[in-house]
Amino acid sequence: MKNGTTILIVDDEPRTRQGLKKTLETWAASGCEIVTAENGDEALDIASKRPVHLLLTDIRMPEMNGLELIKAIRAGGSDPVVVLLSGYSEFEYAQEGIRLGVVNYLLKPVQKAKLLEAVEEALRVAKERLRTGAMEKIVDKELAAMREEDRLVPQPIQEAIRYIEANVKQAVTLREVAEHVHLNASYFSSLFKEKTGMTFSEFVVRGKMQAAKKLLYSTGMPIADIAEEVGYATAKYFITLFKEYEGMTPSQYRKELPDR
């Protein structure tokens, strides 16, 4: 995780602040943007105008200390990965940092090797957070809840679900799937609703929408191609359904996803 990544250094000591910036700019080689602030208020102003992926902040600063800054940034809607810097080794700071989810704690004067090691680890954590956040956004909670109760679902319904998922590109019908699992269509329909908590058609659409969300995140495919990939003949109908289920168009959804 480098391209498009912003690292914010906050320290009231100019020499420390500029030294850290110079070290990280040399290391990043234009892969990250390194910005600095001399106090908490300036840092909050920066964070309000742009995403901050990694925050390196001194603990002891006038007016607003580093721990207060972390809380204020999060209250403002940002949640960067944090590395704390301090010239003091008081244990209570480390304890509070742990409670706030700080990933590392460096004592001043910071050794170059330790700084770069801490930053690389923090960026790995940031990347994993983004990936996890994207996966949570992609996963259909209704489908996930149903799968948690999979052991309670009869074998024919489990087989039907596997068939539907394997044929996400096709316009599968209730009668087709009922025949596949050797059940009467009417009985299959009522059994499917009883055991999954959703109608056959709702399950099919939810499955297609989840497949579409994965493609929106993991590929740059045009919307029309994604519509075709999940079994819809026209992009217009796909977009209508997607908006009905997700509350936004596929293009809007893609824009809101974190970078891969």
Give, in degrees to the nearest 5, the angle at Cα 33 between 30 and 37: 145
The pLDDT of residue 154 is above 60? yes
Predicted local distance difference test score (pLDDT) of residue 78: 87
Instruction: Please report the domains of the chain, with CATH numbers, ordered by start residue.
Output: 5-130 (3.40.50.2300), 141-256 (1.10.10.60)
The pLDDT of residue 71 is above 70? yes
Question: How do residues 12-29 score in pLDDT, each as one tens digit?
Answer: 999 999 999 999 999 987
Cβ neighbourhood burial of 213 (10 Å; 0-12, 13-18, 19+): buried
Q: What share of the chain is helix, strand, coil (3-state, %, to 5)?
A: 60, 10, 30
Does the pTM surpass 0.75? The reply is: no
Question: How do residues 159-215 score in pLDDT, each as one tens digit?
Answer: 999 999 999 999 899 999 999 999 999 999 999 999 888 999 999 999 999 999 999
Mean pLDDT of 82-92: 77
Predicted local distance difference test score (pLDDT) of residue 179: 96
Tokens matching residue 36: 């600095």
**How far apart are the C-alpha atoms of 254 and 258, rounded to whole Å?**
9
**How far apart are the C-alpha atoms of 218 and 138, rounded to whole Å?**
11
**How far apart are the C-alpha atoms of 68 and 71, rounded to whole Å?**
5
Question: How do residues 223-250 score in pLDDT, each as one tens digit?
Answer: 999 999 999 999 999 999 999 999 999 9
Q: Residues 6 or more apart from 96 whose CB is under 8 A from it? A: 67
**How far apart are the C-alpha atoms of 143 and 137, rounded to whole Å?**
13
Confidence of residue 108 (pLDDT cuts 50, 70, 90): confident
Mean pLDDT of 86-108: 76
Tokens matching residue 119: 């930053």
**Minimum mean pLDDT among 42-51, 87-96, 209-218, 220-229: which range?**
87-96
